[in-house]
Amino acid sequence: MKKVFIFLLCFLIMGGCSSIKKDVPPVPDLNFSGNIKVTYNKNTVECKIENKLGVHCIITVVKPELISGLTMTVKDGNCTLSMGEVFYDFDSEKLQQTEFATYISKALSDVLNTTTYEKMENGYWKYTGKTENGKFILLQDSQTGYPVSLRIPDMDLYVKFEDMKAVESQ
């Protein structure tokens, strides 16, 4: 009788363990387009972003109007600046006002392989990881899977994401 009781008890305990669900975030959807507000070194710009993981990250300035239309395309870690028909490949460290595009692209590509995550009280997921530019914190909307914000404190960079939509990854 004891053996049957112990067997039933073990069965109930094991069955109960399988019903415990661990909260896991949705897989981050990193193929998106939308609007971002970037604060970098105490300067703020509003931009449009198109990120295709493993392909490119394109950031186009909308405001301030003086540089509206300036596009930064990051591909394979290299950044190209363009304005209309003029294109310029450059080392982003030499033109520091635009290096935030490379930082954003690198953090978005590293989020899947260098991060830990936790669920926050507001329902967002908080990812923490590290790139060669320092530690980053990415908040993800638990409903859509899209990023909400990205912070790289060592680079004095904060990005707020809005109106995210899916794009084909190619």
The whole-number pLDDT of residue 102 equals 86
Q: In the chain, what percentage of residues exceed pLDDT 70?
A: 78
The whole-number pLDDT of residue 44 equals 94
The whole-number pLDDT of residue 108 equals 86
Q: Residue ranges of the chain with pLDDT lower than 50?
A: 1-12, 14-20
CA 117 to mean position of chain CA atoms: 12
- Checking DSSP bridges between strand 116-119 and strand 125-131, what pairing results, if any? antiparallel
The whole-number pLDDT of residue 8 equals 43
Full DSSP string of 127-153: EEEEETTEEEEEEE-TTT--EEEEEEG
Q: What are phi and psi of 122, to 5 degrees?
A: -80, 5
CATH assignment, 25-166: 2.50.20.10
The whole-number pLDDT of residue 2 equals 47
**Tens-place pLDDT, residues 71-86:** 999 998 888 888 887 7
The whole-number pLDDT of residue 28 equals 73
Domain ranges of the chain: 25-166
The whole-number pLDDT of residue 169 equals 61
